[in-house]
Amino acid sequence: MSRRIPEELVTRIQQENDIVDVVSDYVQLKKQGRNYSGLCPFHNEKTPSFSVSPEKQIFHCFGCGKGGNMFTFLMESEGISFQEAALKMAERSHIPIGDLKVTTSGDQTFQEPPIEDQETHSMIEAHALVAQLYHYILTSTEEGTIALDYLHERGLTDEVIREYNIGFAPKSWELVTAFLEKRGFDYNVMIDAGLLARRDDGNAVDRFRERVMFPITNDRGQTIAFSGRLLPDVEGPKYLNSPETLLFNKRNVLFNFAAARKAIRQTKSVTIFEGFMDVIAASQAGVTNGVASMGTSLTPEHIAKLKRVTDRLIVCYDGDSAGLNATYKAVQLIQEARGLNVKIISLPEKLDPDEYIRKKGAEAFKDFYEQQQIEWPMFLMRYLGTIQDLNQADEIANYVDTLLDEISRIDRPIEQEVYLTELEQRTKIDKAVLRQQLATRQPQTAYEETFFQPQTQQVVKRTALDKMERYLVLLMLKDTQFFDQIQQKFEASTLSFYHDDYQAIYTYLLPYYLQGNIADVAQFLIEVKDERVKNIIVEMEMEELPNIEDVDIADCCYQLDKLQRLQDFKRLKQEQIDALNANDSDKVRAISLEIISKKRALDKL
């Protein structure tokens, strides 16, 4: 079904949003000349080839070819329709939409593609409803009183409970099962979604019982799974997560990522915690850029996701030995990703962040968080010191070798000196000896030095005809006066574009300008339905337009006509050769006569 949205609302949404701000919620951008550059969110790459133009309000990836305006970016990033993207942008910029309804018919319609297939959509819808049910039970029923008291005792406020949509699954085998059945959901799909489980007799039952329920969302903020925390004094596994499903894969999902994205962008950093309770507690303490992996170690997929929005990662795991081991492994994995600046916070007294906040208070945690971030070499020095016997000569030698390798990655001599001083104090080895050993090492590559060196755009060899047609299209995109002049020349001489892609752009431009629209490529892209054509327009717009002062449109069209005739002449010559090779004398004769005619026409130009 087509859906209509008022044109004036679309225009206002575009005017009150900036594509750099929109894209920055998903991609870490850095200024590169007039544009911004980053890693493309639509394909895997190590060197940035994704570019955003604030001047033209468009984006383009020179690697995969995707491009468009801010609406296109949201549609591609979140798999949503134009209307959903527009309304999301309206909400983002606090534009009131009043009683806007989805309507059909009208000239300006936007075809809405399916967001998910029917089964996936059903799973997402069911998760949203069940999350609401759990939250209602927790906050508004007698059954939820014990769980609500437990959360209050853990220091969670009603505001935080509401913000994270925390709920409670009561002691029932049939509550959610009956709730979903009443709304027409298929049992088998709900079992596959992880909301229900199947008994040995084949019947469906509730998967979660007597648990505080924490919704897990995808990057779009949609609930796709749950983590259930067992109430105290109830037997069973302390935590129970949803199984992996079509929606939920632990390797790819980070708790709170969608909600934290704004804070990540504002602070230009992300804090990685071990558990979701740490994320929630830290948020109450003022650290709102926190995420956590879901019952699994940090993965390359997690790091790639974070790398797209920031290059500063802060690891704040538990302070016990298991937490330190996990920190060591996580940071090693982060270092392998390259291009990331990582800091580590090691909490004292073997506490996790949630315990630290409950024991010492939110203000103390915030102070510790801001003041005790250390670099990887310092953490490594402390960590290895806890697992190696520095009273043994061979272990001291291994300890020093490992740390000198890390120190050799540091470019700044003053910073190297700080670590050498610390190493001297820990090992009692004279700093002059350590400095001598450091000098024998080949300088190692810095972990963060490779990021944001934008990929060089490949130079495409174009024919003279291609260049001329491309130039004329760019002129028409830039100024309505150029369009009017070119259109008049085309109509007077029956000219058209030789290349189908340029002709398609011209065909889209005709009604766009005739409706009185201005030359605005971001607005024009809304009218272009063909994705291939849209990407070509954006690719062209990201190029530097040659000098347009004193452009002679008449001469350009004359040159275009001549180049097209030459192209036809070359085509006929090739067809003549093919006919000769095929011993087709009749075709050779016909083509020869056409060549003579074309040659005479060319000589007259």
Lowest mean pLDDT, pick from 376-380, 434-438, 459-463, 555-559: 459-463
Say yes or no to pLDDT of 447 above 80. Answer: no
What is the rounded distance in angstroms from the CA atom of residue 149 to the CA atom of residue 161?
Answer: 12
Q: Calculate mean pLDDT across residues 65-92.
A: 88
Q: Which amino acid does the sequence have at 72?
A: T
Those residues with Cβ within 8 angstroms of residue 266's Cβ, 6 or more apart along the chain or in another chain: 289
Q: Do residues 321 and 278 touch, judged by C-beta distance below 8 A?
A: no
Residue 333: count other Cβ atoms within 10 Å of its Cβ. Answer: 15
What is the mean predicted confidence (pLDDT) over 138-167? 95
Which helix (H) or strand (E) segment holds residue 67: the answer is strand 67-68
Instruction: Quick: pLDDT tens for 264-298.
Output: 888 989 999 999 999 999 999 999 999 998 767 89
Distance of CA 389 to the CA centre of its chain: 45
Regarding predicted confidence, which is higher, 217 or 547?
Answer: 217
pLDDT of residue 567: 82
The pLDDT score that the predictor gives to residue 561 is 84
Q: Mean per-residue pLDDT for 472-480?
A: 91
Residue 91 has pLDDT above 60, yes or no: yes
Q: What does the longest C-alpha to C-alpha distance in the chain come to?
A: 98
Question: What's the CA gap between 359 and 365, in Å, rounded?
Answer: 10
Binned at pLDDT 50, 70 and 90, residue 563 comes out as: confident
Q: Which of 105-114, 337-346, 437-446 is least confident?
A: 105-114
Residue 508: which pLDDT band, with cuts at 50, 70 and 90?
very high
pLDDT band at 568 (very low <50, low <70, confident <90, very high): confident
Token duo for residue 153:
């005792």
pLDDT band at 446 (very low <50, low <70, confident <90, very high): low
Q: What's the rounded Cα separation, in Å, for the pair 439 and 437? A: 5
DSSP state of 285: T
**pLDDT the model gives residue 458:** 58
CA distance 228 to 230: 6
> Which pLDDT does position 601 carry in this prediction?
65
| pLDDT of 499 strictly over 80 | yes
Tell me what the pLDDT averaged over the chain comes to.
87
* Residue at token pair 């939250």: 135
Please give the pLDDT value at position 165. Answer: 97
Closest CA to 512 of 554, 474, 469, 476: 476
Residue 232 Ramachandran class (φ > 0 left, ψ -120 to 50 alpha, else beta): beta
| pLDDT band of 221, cuts 50, 70, 90 | confident
Separation CA 511–CA 521 (nearest Å)? 14
Token output for 37: 């550059």
Q: Hey, is 197 helix, strand or coil?
A: strand
What's the pLDDT band for 451 if we cut at 50, 70, 90? Answer: very low
Worst-scoring range by mean pLDDT, 67-71, 96-100, 510-514, 601-605? 96-100
Q: Tell me the mean pLDDT in the region 581-594.
A: 80
Report the alpha-carbon distance of residue 516 to residue 511 in Å, rounded: 9
Select from 114, 136, 135, 116 the least CA-distant residue to 245: 116
Domains and CATH numbers, the chain: 2-111 (3.90.580.10), 118-241 (3.90.980.10), 254-372 (3.40.1360.10), 464-600 (1.10.860)
Strand partners of residue 388: none
Does the structure show a pLDDT above 70 at 249?
Answer: yes
Pairwise CA distance, residues 121 & 135, whole Å: 21
H/E stretch holding 37 reads: strand 35-38
pLDDT of amino acid 94? 65
The confidence score (pLDDT) of residue 491 equals: 87
Position 107 pLDDT exceeds 90: no
pLDDT of residue 603: 61
Instruction: Judge whether 115 and 81 are in contact, CB under 8 Å.
Output: yes
pLDDT > 70? residue 151: yes
Strands (E), 218-299: 223-230, 239-241, 254-255, 270-273, 290-293
What whole-number distance in Å separates Cα of residue 124 and Cα of residue 223? 7
Supply 317's token pair.
Answer: 């795991």
| HEC string for 54-83 | CCCCEEEECCCCCEECHHHHHHHHHCCCHH
Predicted confidence (pLDDT) at residue 110 exceeds the cutoff of 60: no
**What pLDDT was estimated at residue 108?**
37
Confidence of residue 29 (pLDDT cuts 50, 70, 90): confident
Q: Angle, nearest 10°, between helix axes 531-541 and 464-478?
A: 90
* Mean pLDDT across 134-147: 96
Identity of residue 341: N
Instruction: Give the 3-state secondary structure of residue 198.
Output: strand
